[in-house]
């Protein structure tokens, strides 16, 4: 097959790859590096501090999390920088065989102005009035869902494929779970279920090690609901950790608690845990049943009592089986295989 000239367009909230938390940026990094390894020419439109083997089209943007202004004017700042990024992308559209965007629907009007095929990976939720309106206004835009469940609110959109997010398995080593503790990983926000994880750990008598990003928007929730439950002994909060620290934490955990309270489109942290051999106990919502094989790589639960039973049965799960599931379905190579198929299909259909 012909090698392609591909534009990858990243969000500007984090660099690629992120220094610490940032699932979308990790996925973009893995995709870009793997595409280059296969001989494609990739241009990455991203923050200027990004690290990549691709040709970088850099754009400076202040970190919106450094100081989150609540004024109406403050909310315009991210859109301003993204508009500059999109202008640069579509001014050079003829230089590419395909444009792959990861930034939401703001580019839709631009896509109608160019002949180069565009595709959007949906990294967020679709169960909003805004999503329904925008997608109905631009029904021709090809979309990639990151789980089949993600499609449920709007099942009739122009989906090109479902492509599961993939991780670089060379960076995640199989561990034995010698630490014996339970782990919590992600954002310190209500939908991620930190309170539920703490409740499960306390009722089971197990130690819980938590590593999470705490955004300013979630600080009040954390201080009121979560912080009073952290004692520094049974319940330990490490704060936000980097990739190396994350892998060490997961390798030595006996299980990961993902008692999410929302329809999560894809939980990259669950595949990262399983890549280290760590079984996952997760709420039966969103993409969870597609990621966790119930009874084989963890347990899919509906309530706290089921989570407690699952904790007691963690030793029955093969850590090797957890790793093998990621190798089979959630590796970076599998992800790139599927995206290549999407690219060629869309390019051929545009001719």
Q: What pLDDT sits at residue 75?
A: 44
Tokens 């954002």: give the residue.
187
Q: What is the pLDDT along the chain (351 residues), one digit of tens a residue?
A: 899 999 999 998 889 988 887 789 999 999 999 999 999 999 999 999 999 999 999 987 655 555 444 444 444 456 778 888 899 999 999 999 999 999 989 999 999 999 999 999 999 999 999 999 999 999 999 999 999 999 999 999 999 999 999 999 999 999 999 999 999 999 999 999 999 999 999 999 999 999 999 999 999 999 999 999 999 999 999 999 999 999 999 999 999 999 999 999 999 999 999 999 999 999 999 999 999 999 999 999 999 999 999 999 999 999 999 999 999 999 999 999 999 999 999 999 876
Tokens linked to 120: 């959007």
Tokens 């010698």: give the residue.
178
Rounded Cα gap, residues 59 and 84, in angstroms: 8
State the sign of the Cα–Cα–Cα–Cα dihedral 39, 40, 46, 48.
positive
Helix orientation angle between 23-37 and 332-350, rounded to the nearest 10 degrees = 70
Q: Which domains does the chain have, with CATH numbers?
A: 5-166+331-349 (3.40.50.2000), 169-329 (3.40.50.2000)
Could you tell me where the DSSP H helices lie in the chain? 23-37, 72-91, 108-111, 129-137, 194-204, 219-221, 243-251, 268-275, 288-291, 304-312, 319-329, 332-350
Tokens 């180069």: give the residue.
116
**Which residues does 295 contact at the CB level (< 8 Å), separation at least 6?**
317
Q: What is the pTM of this model?
A: 0.91
Could you tell me where the DSSP H helices lie in 92-188? 108-111, 129-137
The DSSP bridge partners found for residue 120 are 101, 143
């Amino acid at each position: 097959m012909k090698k392609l000239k591909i534009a990858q367009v990243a969000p500007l909230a984090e660099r690629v790859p992120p220094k610490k938390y940032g699932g979308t940026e990790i996925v973009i990094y893995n995709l870009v590096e793997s595409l280059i390894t296969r001989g494609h020419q990739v241009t990455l439109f991203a923050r200027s501090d990004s690290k990549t083997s691709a040709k970088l089209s850099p754009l400076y943007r202040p970190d919106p999390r450094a100081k989150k202004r609540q004024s109406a004017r403050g909310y315009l700042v991210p859109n301003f920088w993204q508009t500059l990024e999109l202008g640069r992308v579509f001014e050079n559209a003829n230089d590419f065989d395909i444009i792959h965007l990861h930034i939401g629907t703001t580019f839709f009007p631009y896509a109608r102005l160019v002949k180069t095929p565009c595709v959007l990976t949906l990294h967020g939720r679709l169960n909003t009035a805004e999503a329904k309106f925008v997608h109905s206004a631009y029904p021709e835009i090809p979309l990639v869902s990151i789980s089949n469940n993600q499609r449920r609110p709007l099942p009739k959109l122009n989906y090109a494929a479902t492509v599961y997010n993939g991780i670089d398995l060379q960076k995640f080593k199989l561990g034995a779970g010698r630490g014996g503790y339970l782990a919590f990983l992600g954002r310190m926000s209500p939908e991620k279920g930190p309170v539920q994880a703490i409740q499960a750990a306390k009722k089971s008598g197990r130690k819980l090690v938590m590593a999470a990003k705490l955004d300013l928007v979630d600080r009040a929730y954390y201080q009121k609901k979560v912080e009073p439950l952290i004692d520094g002994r049974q319940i330990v909060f490490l704060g936000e950790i980097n990739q190396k620290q994350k892998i060490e934490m997961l390798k030595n955990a006996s299980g990961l608690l993902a008692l999410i309270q929302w329809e999560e489109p894809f939980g990259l942290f669950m595949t990262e845990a399983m890549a280290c051999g760590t079984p996952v106990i997760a709420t039966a919502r969103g993409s969870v049943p597609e990621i966790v094989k119930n009874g084989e790589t963890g347990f899919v639960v509906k309530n706290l009592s089921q989570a407690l039973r699952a904790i007691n049965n963690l030793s029955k799960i093969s850590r090797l089986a957890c790793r093998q599931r990621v190798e089979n379905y959630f590796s970076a190579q599998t992800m790139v295989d599927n995206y290549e198929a999407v690219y060629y299909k869309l390019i051929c259909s545009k001719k």
